[in-house]
Amino acid sequence: MLGSLPSFARLEAELGKLPGIGGKTATRLAFHLLRTSESEVAALADALLEMKRNVRLCEKCFHVAEDRLCGICAAEQRDQRLLCVVEQPQDLLAIERSHSYPGLYHVLHGVLSPLDGIDPEDLKIPQLEQRLAVEPFDEVIIATNFSVEGEATALYLARLCQQRGVPASRLAHGIPSGSGLEYIDAGTVQHAVSGRRTL
């Protein structure tokens, strides 16, 4: 059946390359698109091409941008003396959604992972060193994830900041809002206890 449907099978194969989309989901999406109007499918295809044409990385912080600088680096009202280092643009967006951070960002596009052959030069770490040398930051907040690689990267970056004489900090590690202690893993509880604050 699908042997006689090369275009359909090709779309299924292309959709199946997307992360988190397995064979069955790809088939379901392809059938959905088959029922979708031609103009809507054309809109999706055009959005794909337009994004690829227009979106690039900010020259300064490596967040996604459609101009030379991203909206945050271009915004003069942001605190130019605060820098937050994140793994991915998605992490930056999560912090922005919290409306809790007024400063600038630096997106590493990954974490150090010597076993996978990912060294500082494979990330935007040389560019971070460059910024630390030129921009007068009062504090660098290291917001890599609390995974093994994220923690190791944070340590590496903390040493970099130390060498430059810039104070570095790490996001607080503890119990998330709305969680009951009984459902939280032991490692997080340990961090929450050792990081307790006086009231």
Which residues would be at the binding site for a copy of itself (CB under 8 A)? 1-8, 10-11, 13-15, 17-20, 25, 27-34, 38, 40-55, 63-67, 70-72, 74, 88-90, 92-93, 96
Cβ closest to a copy of itself, residue 104 vs residue 168: 104
User: Shortest approach of a copy of itself to residue 18 CB, angstroms?
Assistant: 6
Cβ closest to a copy of itself, residue 80 vs residue 88: 88
**Closest listed residue to residue 55, CA positions, set 89, 32, 10, 81:** 89
Cβ closest to a copy of itself, residue 45 vs residue 148: 45
User: Shortest approach of a copy of itself to residue 182 CB, angstroms?
Assistant: 27
User: Shortest approach of a copy of itself to residue 59 CB, angstroms?
Assistant: 14
Cβ closest to a copy of itself, residue 89 vs residue 160: 89
Tokens found for residue 105: 């960002």
Cβ closest to a copy of itself, residue 89 vs residue 150: 89
User: Shortest approach of a copy of itself to residue 100 CB, angstroms?
Assistant: 15
The per-residue DSSP string of 88-149 comes to SHHHHHHHHHTT---EEEEE-SS--BGGGTB-GGGTTHHHHHHHHHHS--SEEEE---SSHH
Cβ pair 89, 63 in contact under 8 A: yes
Cβ pair 111, 169 in contact under 8 A: no
User: Shortest approach of a copy of itself to residue 143 CB, angstroms?
Assistant: 15
Sheet architecture: strand order including 103-107 = 103-107, 79-86, 139-142, 168-170
Give the integer Cα–Cα distance in Å for 157 and 125: 8
Say how far residue 23 (Cα) sits from the centre of its chain: 27
